[in-house]
Chain A
Amino acid sequence: MANTKANKKVDHSMPRPASFIPSNGPAIGLPSPLGTVMSGQKSGSRRKKSMDTPLLLTALVDAFSILVIFLLVQMGSGQNFFEANDSIKLPQASSVDVASPSDKGARIANLVVTERGYILDEEVLNLRDVGARLKAMGSTAENPVRLVIQADQASNFDLMSPLLSLTAEVGISKLEFAVEEAERAM
């Protein structure tokens, strides 16, 4: 029966679908010249092979689900507690300190040290104003302030020296230097 079908001559009078898959069904358009070549049909002697490849949607859904779960888990664990300034490149460090219980609820003062001045909570200030602001924050044991200092890795440490003296004056002895977490090369 299959041979009969394969040997059946193609009726060229009927318009045929313009696809790569030869078909004997209802025809639209002209027959594709590649149809015979791709299906491996040789002068109608061999059985026609179907070029239809079923798309495994179940595997695709599985892969997508795994990707979504991975991204959700990563999203939950990778929240930064401060926002990095785009204009600077933070230094990299592998031994990053984790937040202690006393850090929870503490106010975060984000201080960016640049060549043109100090940016405290997105406001450009001079050193004296930074001192006044930090003093006004009033870091106490009950109401601690976490001072997170950001600076470019190539910047001069001399920019930091007056700031460190200033923080000591206003009573902030614990400092946090912002870094980019990195794997350490062994």
Chain B
Amino acid sequence: MVSAGGKKDKRDLDFDLNLIPAIDLLSVCISFLLLTAVWVNLGSVKLNQAVGETNAAGGVNPPSLWIEVARTGSLTLSTRDLPNGTRGIEGSVLTASRDGKIDRKKLDQAIEMIQQRIPSVETVIVRPQSRVPYGEVIAVIDSLKAAKVKDVGIAPES
């Protein structure tokens, strides 16, 4: 190569960057991160516990919806302590899906309908009957949480 002046050859400033160590380092980083990564995200569903059906302090219970979960997968919905003149639900049954599990679609629709018809109901108590699978109870609670129900409680069968 000849320089502009033609006196001296221009020094070659190009150099090869050795990428192999960089790739090695990145490979180690990736392997480490893949091994330590959390692939299953765990979380929790927070609940208040409701023991008993009457207010121990003698006060007025808030309007609530009670959902009884049966072993067969059917759900029985009832409203309680509604303000005077409000028409509630008494023993409305949502049948189970074909596989004997809770029909989430029906439950979602029922919750939506109750929220529209009786907006004063902000408390929902889940009451599982004996021998109900734990997963089914959580499925009901999940539907309630998804419907943005303010207070979700659980009352075990006594």
Q: Which of B2-50 contact A (CB under 8 A)?
A: 19-20, 22-23, 26-27, 29-30, 33-34, 36-38, 40-49
Q: How many residues of A contact B (CB 8 A)?
A: 52
Determine if B135 and A154 form an interchain contact, defined as CB atoms under 8 angstroms apart: yes
* Total A-B residue contacts, Cβ distance less than 8 Å: 150
Tier of interface size on chain B = 35 or more
- Tell me the complex Cα distance, A127–B39, Å: 33
Q: Which residues of B contact A181 (CB under 8 A)?
A: 40-43
Q: Which residues of A contact B43 (CB under 8 A)?
A: 93, 96-97, 178-181
Contact of A53 with B by CB under 8 A: no
Task: Out of B37, B42, B134, name the residue touching A75 (CB < 8 Å).
Answer: B37
- Tell me the complex Cα distance, A81–B130, Å: 31
Q: Which residues of A contact B41 (CB under 8 A)?
A: 78, 80, 180-181
Looking at chain B's contact residues, the main secondary structure is mixed
Chain A's nearest CB lies how many Å from the CB of B73?
Answer: 13
Contact of B146 with A by CB under 8 A: yes
- Tell me the complex Cα distance, A183–B128, Å: 25
Determine if A178 and B42 form an interchain contact, defined as CB atoms under 8 angstroms apart: yes
Looking at chain A's contact residues, the main secondary structure is mixed
Determine if B138 and A160 form an interchain contact, defined as CB atoms under 8 angstroms apart: no
Q: What residues make up the interface of A, taking CB atoms closer than 8 Å to B?
A: 57-58, 60-61, 64-65, 67-68, 71-72, 74-75, 78-82, 84, 90-91, 93-97, 148, 151-161, 164-165, 167-168, 172-181, 184
Q: What residues make up the interface of B, taking CB atoms closer than 8 Å to A?
A: 19-20, 22-23, 26-27, 29-30, 33-34, 36-38, 40-49, 51, 128, 130-135, 137-139, 141-142, 145-146, 154, 156-158
Across chains A and B, which 10 residue pairs bring their CB atoms closest together, nearest first? A96-B43, A153-B135, A95-B145, A71-B33, A161-B156, A64-B26, A176-B44, A181-B41, A91-B138, A91-B135
